[in-house]
Amino acid sequence: KFKNEIHRNNMISHDEILNKNTEINGILEDLQLTLQSLNYRNKDIKSILPILDKKAYEFTKKGENISFENLLKLAMNYLDNDISKIVS
């Protein structure tokens, strides 16, 4: 009985992770479109998407909520800092 309970708990957390991944993927797609509309270069956007994905996963792992706004702010900070290094 105990093993069955553990297995059910693992299944629930696995389902939650899948739901979070779907949510994260949706947010990342929205971020990409938003950054494109803000005239960031596609090359730059594609270079930060893996970073944002990793950060979103870390937030999820810690039990923190992931929001479009927080990830957008993070993305813009990365992009602006990288652009300022190139210009300097």
Which three-class secondary structure state does DSSP give residue 77?
helix
pTM, full prediction: 0.67
* Burial of 74 (C-beta count, 10 Å sphere; 0-12/13-18/19+): middle
**Residue 86 in tokens:** 């190139």
Going residue by residue through the chain, which has 88 residues, state the pLDDT in tens, using 9 for 90 and above: 444 444 444 444 445 555 567 788 888 899 999 999 999 999 999 888 888 888 888 887 777 778 899 999 999 999 988 654 444 3
Residue type, 12: I
